[in-house]
Amino acid sequence: MANIKDGNVIENSNDNPETEFRKKRWYHRRDVRFVGLVIAFVLFFQSYGFVTGPSRISDKLSGAMASGQEKIDILIWAKFPAEAFHMELYQTLGAIRGELDGAVRLGRVKPQDIKFLSRKYWIEKIDLAPPEKS
């Protein structure tokens, strides 16, 4: 006797729900949902940086970047004090030249590296550094 349930024909099924086997859909599995949630979080996190990054660059610095300078001296204000990880990132992008008014002074930074740095969530503001006094 064939039994029809949810539009699917179940052959030789008993009326006992304990012996009935229902195949789970792939999208109902917990591991698939977890991986999907992780992917959605990473996409949101990355898109947040791309959307808010340009607003962290000052107008003076944007003008200097547009003028075609190859390397620019910048001031970086972070939302919290820099840890070892942040300092390593600064050193890979340019030369640390000290601190000025609570900002880290970074010298000889390429414009594409400034855009990369502006996408970090812990960066509050990036501005053009004043010329160094000799």
Instruction: Give pLDDT tens digits for 44-96.
Output: 999 999 999 999 999 999 999 999 999 999 999 999 988 999 999 999 999 99
pLDDT band per the 50, 70, 90 thresholds, residue 23: confident
Residues 42 and 64 placed together within one structural domain of the fold: no
User: 81 in a domain, yes or no?
Assistant: yes
| Cα 86 to Cα 84: distance, rounded to the nearest angstrom | 6
Q: Determine the Cα angle at 132 with ends 131 and 134, to 5°.
A: 130
Range of the domain at 73: 57-128
pLDDT band per the 50, 70, 90 thresholds, residue 113: very high
Cα distances (Å, whole numbers) of residue 58 to 74, 89, 95, 105, 114: 10, 21, 20, 15, 11
Residues 21 and 79 placed together within one structural domain of the fold: no
Closest C-alpha among 117, 22, 15, 28 to residue 74? 117
User: 83 in a domain, yes or no?
Assistant: yes
The residue-averaged pLDDT of 112-122 equals 96
The pTM is what?
A: 0.73
Cα distances (Å, whole numbers) of residue 129 to 28, 81, 101: 54, 19, 11
Residues 43 and 73 placed together within one structural domain of the fold: no
pLDDT band per the 50, 70, 90 thresholds, residue 21: low
| Cα 131 to Cα 103: distance, rounded to the nearest angstrom | 15
Residues 9 and 68 placed together within one structural domain of the fold: no
User: Is the pLDDT reported for residue 14 higher than 90?
Assistant: no
User: Is the pLDDT reported for residue 126 higher than 90?
Assistant: yes
The residue-averaged pLDDT of 22-48 equals 90
- DSSP-based helix, strand, coil % in the chain, nearest 5: 40, 25, 35
Q: What is the pLDDT of residue 27?
A: 76
